[in-house]
Amino acid sequence: MYFTEILVMRTSQYLLSTLKETPASAEVISHQLMLRAGLVRNLASGLYTWLPTGLRVLKKVENIVREEMQRAGANEILMPMVQPADLWEESGRWNDYGPELLRLNDRHKRPFVLGPTHEEVITKLVANELNSYKQLPLSLFQIQNKFRDEIRPRFGIMRSREFLMKDAYSFHLEQECLEKTYQKMFDAYCRIFDRLGLNYRPVLADTGSIGGDASHEFHVLADSGEDDIAFSDASDFAANVEKAEALAPQTERAEPTQTLTKVATPNVKSIDDLVNFLAVDIKTTVKTLLVCGIENEQGETPIVALVLRGDHQLNEIKVEHLSQVASPLTFASEEQILAVVHCNAGSIGPVGLSIDIIVDRSAAQLSDFVCGANENDQHLTGTNWQRDCSTYQVADIRNVVAGDPSPCGQGNIVIKRGIEVGHIFQLGTKYAEAMGCAVLNEGGKNQTLTMGCYGIGVSRIVAAAIEQNHDKYGIKWPKAIAPFQVAIVPMNMAKSARVKETAEALYEQFNQVGIEVLFDDRKERPGVMFADHELMGTPLLLIIGERNLDAQQVEVKNRITGEKSLLAIDDVMSLFS
C-alpha cells in the first residue's frame, strides 16, 4: 500500500466545496454529481483538478487495482509522461497515431509527445534490461496520468483528455506463456471489479489495428455508456457490437417471383425516402455504399461497393478487416461516385456495377428486393441475386441488432450500453519487433518477445461507479471506494455539551480504530449537514442529538438502503467489526 490514508478529518478543516445548483456545463449524472459533491473542478476542456473527496475515491480505486496487479505477479514502475518523439518514430506510431497524440518541443527544439500510452517506452526499457529467456515471463505495470487530445472531450471525467490509467505489459518467449498470463490478468480484472462493487461484464472485443489474437473489454453496465454490448439472452456470451458476428440467416433464399422493373423515384435520396415513396418494407430494400479500396500498383484507388439491407448498419471495423478495403475506412467522394456509377449517392445499386461488390450475409439472402438503379431518381424493384447481379462476394459487414441469433449458437442478441473501464489484449510481437526487444533463448539464439497489454481507466471507474450508483439525493458509493466510511452528524452541538462530548468521544474512537470518519463540526443546521453527506454518498451517518442521549443512544442512517435505526453508543463500534 503506497497511499497513506489520512483518517482524521473534521469538516472545519476540510475542503467540502459542495454546490447546491448544478453547473450548466455538466450533462451526464456522474459529471453533475462530481461537481456538486466537490470531487472535481474543471480547469479547461477535458482537464480536471481532483479535490480532497474525489482524490480519496480515486486513491481507493487505485489501491485496489494496485493490490490485485501485485497479486497477479506484476511489478510496479513509473514511466515519464513526456516521451521523446524518436521512440514513436521507431514504432511507426509518430505517423499512425494521428492528432490525438499531443506533440511538443523542448527548449532545444527537440520533439516530444505527451504519452497517450506507454508501449514504446516500456518495450524499449525491457529491450535494454533483459538479456536471457531465464528472466521471462515478466509483467510490469504503472499507474500514471495519460494525455489524449480527444476530438471532443465529453461527459466530464468519463472522456477527459488527461486521465489516470493503470497500464500493464507482459513479456514472453512463447504464445502459450502469454496466454497463461492473459488468463491471470483476466482473473485479476474480475477480482478488481468485484472488489469495487460494480456491475460489470467482460466482453469480447476487437483487437483493433494492433492485431493479436485475443482481446476482452471490461464494461460497467450503465445506460449512459458510450459502447453497445451484445449479449446472448441464453448464455454467457457478451461481445462489443464492433466485434459480434452477425450470422447468416438459416433459411434458404427464396426463388425470384418478380421481374426486374425500373421505377421513377424523384427526389428519393435515402432509404427512409424510398420506403415512404414506394410503400415497401424496409427489410426488402438494400443500400449500396461506395468506399475506397486498397491502392493498386499504379497508385490508383479502386472503389468498392458494400451492400446492406436497408434497416442494417455498416460495421466499419468488420469492413476494415476485408482485404479489398482500405483502412481506415474512407467513403468515396462525390467525384469518385460520379466517375464510377454516373449518378448521385442516393441511387446506387449493385446491378450492372463493374467494381468489386461485397454483400452482407443478410442482404445476400433477399429476393425480389429494391435497390438503386445507378441512374438519378431511378430505383429497381424485383431485383434478385444471380439472375440480375451475379459477381459479388458475401461477408459479415453489419452491426448485430437486438433479436439476431447469438453467434454462440444459443439464444438471441440483447443490446445494452456499457462504459469501457478495462481492456486487455495479446499484443504479439508488433512493438517488440519494432523496438528490438529480444533475448537469447535456450538455443543461444536471439528471439523477439511476444507481449500482452492490459489497461484500466482508474479515473473513469470513479465516474462509472457514480453512473451506476446514485439517487436523487446524490452519490451512493460502494463501500470499498467511499471517501469516508461514516459521518458524525451532531445536532445543535454548539448548544448542547452532551452532544458535543458524545460526538468528540466517538470521533476519537473511530480514529483510534482506524475507521475513516468525517466529523461534521460546522455550525450548520441539520438539514444542511444531511444534504451534504447524502450528496457525498457516505455509506453511514451517525446522528447524535439530545433526543436520544437520555437513553445513551445515537441514530444510524444507512445511505444505501435509507434505513434508520437506534443504537446504544457503546455498540457503535460493532458496526465496523
Partner RNA sequence: CGGUGAUUAGCGCAGCUUGGUAGCGCACUUGGUUUGGGUCCAAGGGGUCGCAAGUUCGAAUCUUGCAUCACCGACCA
Given 313, 378, 412, 509, the residue binding RNA (CB under 7 A): 313
Question: Interface with RNA includes 455 (CB under 7 A)?
Answer: no
Look at residues 530, 545, 542, 541 and name the one whose alpha carbon lies nearest to residue 498: 545
Phi and psi, residue 412, nearest 5° = -120, 165
CA gap 481, 63 in Å, rounded: 10
Residue 573's Cβ-count burial label (10 Å; 0-12, 13-18, 19+) is middle
AA letter at 422: G
Least separation, in Å, of the C-beta of 231 and RNA? 19
Least separation, in Å, of the C-beta of 22 and RNA? 6
Strands (E), 127-260: 138-147, 162-172, 200-204, 215-221, 227-232, 238-240
Least separation, in Å, of the C-beta of 191 and RNA? 33
AA letter at 99: P
Least separation, in Å, of the C-beta of 349 and RNA? 8
Q: Cβ(188)–Cβ(68) under 8 Å?
A: yes
Q: Which stretch binds RNA (CB under 7 A): 164-172, 418-426, 463-471, 539-547?
A: 539-547
Q: Given the complex with RNA, which of 287 and 460 has the nearer CB atom?
A: 287
Question: Interface with RNA includes 78 (CB under 7 A)?
Answer: no
Q: Given the complex with RNA, which of 27 and 129 has the nearer CB atom?
A: 27
Given 332, 366, 435, 458, the residue binding RNA (CB under 7 A): 332
Q: Given the complex with RNA, which of 263 and 480 has the nearer CB atom?
A: 263
Q: Which stretch binds RNA (CB under 7 A): 75-83, 100-108, 530-538, 567-575?
A: 530-538
Question: Interface with RNA includes 169 (CB under 7 A)?
Answer: no
Given 491, 506, 518, 536, the residue binding RNA (CB under 7 A): 491
Which residues from 8-27 bind RNA, rule CB under 7 A?
18-25, 27
Given 94, 478, 526, 573, the residue binding RNA (CB under 7 A): 526
> For 4, which DSSP code?
-
Instruction: Please name the residues in contact with 176: beta carbons below 8 A apart, sequence gap of 6 or more.
Output: none
Q: Which three cell numbers stand for residue 489?
A: 452528524
Q: Cβ(192)–Cβ(68) under 8 Å?
A: yes
Strands (E), 5-50: 40-44, 47-50
Question: Interface with RNA includes 521 (CB under 7 A)?
Answer: no
Helix (H, G, I), strand (E, B) or coil at 67: helix
Q: Cβ(451)–Cβ(486) under 8 Å?
A: no
AA letter at 341: V
Q: Cβ(496)–Cβ(547) under 8 Å?
A: no
- Can you give the length of the chain in residues? 577
Q: Given the complex with RNA, which of 465 and 543 has the nearer CB atom?
A: 543
Cis, peptide link before residue 137, omega less than 30° from 0: yes
Look at residues 109, 101, 110, 107 and name the one whose alpha carbon lies nearest to residue 81: 101
Question: Interface with RNA includes 342 (CB under 7 A)?
Answer: no
Given 14, 278, 331, 361, the residue binding RNA (CB under 7 A): 331
Burial pattern 534-570, b for ≥16 Cβ within 10 A else e, equals: bbbbbbbbbbbbeebbeeebbbbbebeeeeeeebebe
Q: Which stretch binds RNA (CB under 7 A): 130-138, 276-284, 287-295, 439-447?
A: 287-295
Q: Given the complex with RNA, which of 63 and 301 has the nearer CB atom?
A: 301
Question: Interface with RNA includes 291 (CB under 7 A)?
Answer: yes
Question: Interface with RNA includes 276 (CB under 7 A)?
Answer: no
Q: Which stretch binds RNA (CB under 7 A): 85-93, 251-259, 386-394, 547-555?
A: 547-555
Question: Interface with RNA includes 539 (CB under 7 A)?
Answer: no
Question: Interface with RNA includes 130 (CB under 7 A)?
Answer: no
Look at residues 516, 527, 423 and name the one whose alpha carbon lies nearest to residue 186: 423
Question: Interface with RNA includes 473 (CB under 7 A)?
Answer: yes
Which residues from 179-218 bind RNA, rule CB under 7 A?
none
Least separation, in Å, of the C-beta of 489 and RNA? 9
**Angle, CA of 357, 363 and 368, to the nearest 5°:** 105
Q: Given the complex with RNA, which of 19 and 234 has the nearer CB atom?
A: 19
Helix (H, G, I), strand (E, B) or coil at 284: helix
Which residues from 391-420 bind RNA, rule CB under 7 A?
399
* 374 conformational bin, left if phi > 0, alpha if psi -120 to 50, beta if neither: left
Least separation, in Å, of the C-beta of 127 and RNA? 36
Question: Interface with RNA includes 44 (CB under 7 A)?
Answer: yes
Q: Given the complex with RNA, which of 25 and 512 has the nearer CB atom?
A: 25
Which residues from 139-158 bind RNA, rule CB under 7 A?
151-155
Q: Which three cell numbers stand for residue 201?
A: 461484464
Q: Which stretch binds RNA (CB under 7 A): 210-218, 281-289, 449-457, 462-470?
A: 281-289
**Distance from CA of residue 444 to its chain's centroid?**
42
Given 117, 123, 144, 347, the residue binding RNA (CB under 7 A): 347
Residue 37's Cβ-count burial label (10 Å; 0-12, 13-18, 19+) is buried
Least separation, in Å, of the C-beta of 84 and RNA? 26
* Binding interface with RNA (CB under 7 A): 18-25, 27, 42, 44-46, 151-155, 269-272, 287-291, 313-316, 331-332, 337, 345-348, 372, 399, 473, 491-492, 494-495, 525-528, 530-532, 534-535, 543-548, 555, 557, 564
